[in-house]
Copies of this chain bind each other. A is one copy, B any other.
Amino acid sequence: MAENQDRGRVKTTETAFRIVELLMERDGMRLSELARELGVAKSTAHRHLSTLLDLEYVTENNGVYRTGLRFLEIGEQTRTRTDAYRLAEEKVADLAAETEERSQFIVEEHGQGVYLFRETGDRAVHTDSEIGKRIPIHATAAGKAILANLSDERIEEIIDQRGLPALTEHTTTDEEALWTELAEIRDRGYSTNDQENTSGLRAIGVPVRYEDGEPLGALSVSGPTHRFQKTLFNETLPNLLLGTANELELNIQYS
C-alpha cells in the first residue's frame, strides 16, 4: 500500500532530503537520534550523513549535524535569477518606507505562496525573516492576487492539489466563495485579506504581471486591523499598491 504515485521515483534521494528536512526542523541532530527518527540502521544514517557532509550540504560540530549554507547559495541564486525579482525587492522596500507597515513580494510555486522579499517599516516589529516560507495561496492577499490571474484550469489544479485549509476562522474554505472572490479581484484589480491567515492582521495585495498577462508574483502590504480601516484600507493603500505594481511592470518590461 501507499505506492500509488511512487512508480519510478528515486527512493534514495527521498531519504537524503528527508534527512535534510529533519535536520532543519530540529535545528541539528546527532547520528543515532536521526537513525531512530528515520527508522533506519545507524550504519545507513551514517552513510547518508557522511555523503551530505562530503558534498558540503551539511555541517558537523561535536557530533551534531546541521544543514549547511550551500542551501542559502542555491536559494539566493534562485531568488535573484531573474531581473524581475530583483526589481521587486526595491519596490518592497519603497512600500515599507512609505506605508511604515510590512510589505512583501510573493510568488507561486507548486501551488503554494512563497515569500521572496519582506521589509518591515519603522512602525512594524522586526520579526523572523520568513523568507522562503510557504503558505497556502488562498489565505493571503498576495496569493489571491496571483491566483486571480491564473487560468481557470490552473486554479482548479491548485485547489485539487492543495485544498483550501483553514488557517484562522476567517480563511475562505469554500471553493464557490473563492471563485466569486477571485472574480471580484479581477474586476477591482487588487485583493484583500481580513485576518485570513493571522488574526488581527489585514492586508492588500496586487498582482505583478508580464506583458502577456502572466503573473510573476504579487506585492502586498499588511498591518493591524485597527490601523487598516476606512479610506486607508479602501482607497489609499489600494491606489498606492496599484501604482507601485504598475511601475514595477514597466521596469520589468524595459529591463
Cβ contact within 8 Å between B74 and A10: no
Distance A250 CA – B54 CA, assembled complex (angstroms): 35
A6-41: which have CB < 8 Å to B? 8-10, 12-14, 16-17, 20-21, 24, 27
A129 at the interface (CB under 8 A from B): yes
Cβ contact within 8 Å between B55 and A17: yes
A13-B51, A16-B16, A52-B13 given; A109·B68 CB < 8 A: yes
A114 at the interface (CB under 8 A from B): yes
Please, which residues of chain B bring their CB within 8 A of the CB of A177?
none
Cβ contact within 8 Å between B13 and A74: no
A77 at the interface (CB under 8 A from B): yes
Cβ contact within 8 Å between B132 and A74: yes
Cβ contact within 8 Å between B132 and A72: yes
Please, which residues of chain B bring their CB within 8 A of the CB of A8?
47, 50
A48-B13, A54-B9 given; A73·B73 CB < 8 A: no
| Cβ-neighbour of A132 out of B17, B24, B76, B109 (below 8 A) | B76
A88 at the interface (CB under 8 A from B): no
Chain A 157-172 per-residue mask, 1 if CB under 8 angstroms from chain B, else 0: 0000000000000000
Cβ contact within 8 Å between A110 and B68: yes
Please, which residues of chain B bring their CB within 8 A of the CB of A131?
72, 76
Could you name 16 residue pairs across A and B whose Cβ atoms are closer than 8 Å? A5-B54, A8-B50, A10-B51, A12-B13, A13-B51, A27-B81, A56-B109, A59-B110, A66-B78, A67-B78, A69-B79, A69-B109, A69-B114, A72-B78, A73-B114, A76-B131
Q: A10-B51, A27-B81, A72-B79 are in contact. List 17 more A-B contacts (CB 8 A).
A: A8-B47, A9-B50, A12-B13, A12-B16, A13-B16, A24-B74, A24-B78, A69-B75, A69-B78, A69-B132, A71-B74, A72-B131, A73-B75, A73-B133, A74-B132, A75-B132, A76-B132
